[in-house]
Amino acid sequence: MNDIIVDFSGWVRMTPKKTLFICIGDDKPDIDGEQWLALDDEQRSDYILDDIIAAQRDCDDGDYSLIEVFEDDST
């Protein structure tokens, strides 16, 4: 059975206080978007968005420029 591929591109606008980031480096605590905005670029690179699906679901605004669903028949 072949896999299904979903290819997408878009953006979301999120309220900083409702946005969660987790640290991928040192053992630092999770931070919200307000704390992340206060960091410099180098410090920001230590964090990633916790849950992109939640961000898309709970965003204040957003849009998709591409959503394609297709069968991967390369296997």
Measured CA to CA, the distance from residue 75 to residue 55 in angstroms comes to: 32
Query: Is 46 part of a structural domain of the chain?
Result: yes
Query: Is 23 part of a structural domain of the chain?
Result: yes
Residue 75 pLDDT greater than 80, yes or no: no
Q: Provide mean pLDDT across the span 2-8.
A: 93
Query: Is 75 part of a structural domain of the chain?
Result: no
Q: What is the pLDDT of residues 9-47, one digit of tens each?
A: 999 999 999 999 999 988 889 999 999 999 999 999 999
Question: Which residue range(s) make up the domain with 11?
Answer: 3-70
Measured CA to CA, the distance from residue 63 to residue 40 in angstroms comes to: 28
Our count of domains for the chain comes to 1
CB-count exposure of residue 19 (10 Å: 0-12, 13-18, 19+):
buried
The structure's pTM equals: 0.77
Query: Is 42 part of a structural domain of the chain?
Result: yes
